[in-house]
């Protein structure tokens, strides 16, 4: 692949100062925590330049309100999570660490009921709903994933973040990059979106959102209902993108990504043995209102999948055109 002009310099240079001693903390969750299953949900594909799992250590690069930070997480003993962070946003990243690990995920009132959910809930007591509190990054990644395969979306996210993000500080096992700033997203050239594999509707939606990015961040911080209202009011953002954004940024336990290509089929098959559509999925999930995203995550953890009947999709690559 021929890199965009920014790509070669982003990969080749290392503008980081010599590694300094990190800030460190210890987190003891009050409830069982499956660290990997909870935190790695935030990873956008195996090659995500913002996250990497190196053995027992999870590395995460982010652009916090205080600046770029690299966070390293490790469970040093049962129920003890050690965190180390580098960069100007290190203190913010450590303060947010419990929420990243699902500390604010409240499962009160959730009753599995369905045998598959009862079993999944029993087998995965440490599955928590993570939140990043970084709404624009979540919105940008959700827009990147609109109406394309996961492979296409993850590749486009990897390219843009590597080309226009910022090299993460600290002794990361491989180069990690924090996503662009809101202004950085707005300034990505049109040809780079194309070279990354994004269609014009996606790139326009991100650029338009970035033009009012700070206002979006402020407006979505009040409540989940207000966040949904604000997000769907944006050009190029519908219910699916809003739900995906709220799930990642705020750990919305009730969000349902209506309009997803596979989700309704998978939920229907898991709960009834037959695929369904979005309307049928919402009907099936209604008994768990308030915890519908939790149900979806438990069904995914259960590993029940509808058998694939059609040929595997091989999307055409238009980047060289």
pLDDT tens digits, 36-79: 999 999 999 999 999 999 989 999 999 999 999 999 999 999 99
Q: What is the pLDDT, as a whole number, of residue 14?
A: 62
Every domain of the chain and the residues it spans: 22-108, 109-321
What is the reported pLDDT for 173? 96
What pLDDT score was predicted for residue 309?
Answer: 63
Is domain 109-321 given the CATH code 1.10.340.30 in the classification? yes
Which pLDDT value is given to residue 224?
A: 97
Residues 104-141 pLDDT 10s: 999 999 999 999 999 999 999 999 999 999 999 999 99
pLDDT value of position 147: 84
Q: Are 11 and 123 in contact (CB under 8 A)?
A: no
CA distance 85 to 32: 23
Q: For the beta carbon of residue 19, count every other beta carbon within 10 angstroms.
A: 12
Of residues 71, 24, 61, the one with CA closest to residue 168: 61
Q: How is residue 136 annotated by DSSP?
A: H
Sheet arrangement for strand 67-77:
23-27, 80-86, 67-77, 57-64, 51-54
Give dist(CA 238, CA 5) in Å, integer.
33
Kindly state the tokens that stand for 145: 């994933």
Q: What is the number of other CB atoms lying within 10 angstroms of the CB of residue 80?
A: 12
66 burial (CB, 10 Å; 0-12 / 13-18 / 19+) is middle
β-bridge pairing 67-77 and 57-64:
antiparallel
């Amino acid at each position: 692949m021929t890199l965009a002009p920014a790509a070669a310099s982003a990969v080749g240079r290392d503008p980081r100062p010599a590694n300094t001693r990190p800030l460190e903390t210890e987190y003891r969750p009050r409830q069982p925590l499956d660290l990997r299953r909870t935190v790695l949900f935030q990873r956008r594909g195996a090659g995500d330049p913002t996250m990497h799992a190196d053995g027992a250590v999870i590395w995460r690069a982010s652009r916090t309100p205080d600046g770029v930070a690299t966070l390293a997480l490790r469970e040093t003993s049962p129920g003890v999570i050690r965190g180390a962070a580098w960069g100007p946003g290190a203190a913010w990243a450590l303060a947010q660490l419990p929420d990243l690990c699902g500390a604010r995920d409240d499962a009160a009132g959730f009753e599995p009921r369905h045998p598959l959910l009862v079993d999944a809930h029993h087998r995965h007591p440490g599955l928590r709903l993570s939140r990043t509190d970084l709404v624009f990054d979540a919105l940008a990644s959700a827009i990147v994933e609109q109406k394309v395969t996961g492979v296409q979306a993850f590749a486009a996210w990897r390219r843009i973040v590597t080309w226009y993000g910022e090299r993460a500080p600290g002794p990361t096992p491989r180069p990690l990059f924090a996503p662009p700033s809101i202004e950085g997203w707005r300034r990505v050239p049109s040809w780079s979106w194309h070279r990354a594999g994004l269609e014009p509707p996606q790139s326009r939606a991100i650029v338009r959102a970035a033009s009012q990015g700070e206002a979006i961040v402020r407006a979505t911080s009040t409540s989940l209902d207000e966040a949904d209202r604000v997000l769907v009011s944006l050009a190029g953002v519908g219910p699916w993108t809003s739900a995906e954004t709220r799930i990642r940024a705020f750990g919305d336990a009730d969000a349902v990504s209506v309009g997803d290509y596979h989700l309704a089929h998978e939920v229907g098959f898991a709960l009834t043995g037959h695929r369904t559509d979005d309307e049928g999925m919402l009907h099936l999930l209604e008994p768990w209102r308030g915890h519908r995203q939790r149900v979806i995550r438990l069904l995914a953890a259960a590993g029940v999948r509808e058998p694939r009947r059609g040929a595997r999709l091989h999307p055409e690559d238009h980047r060289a055109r």
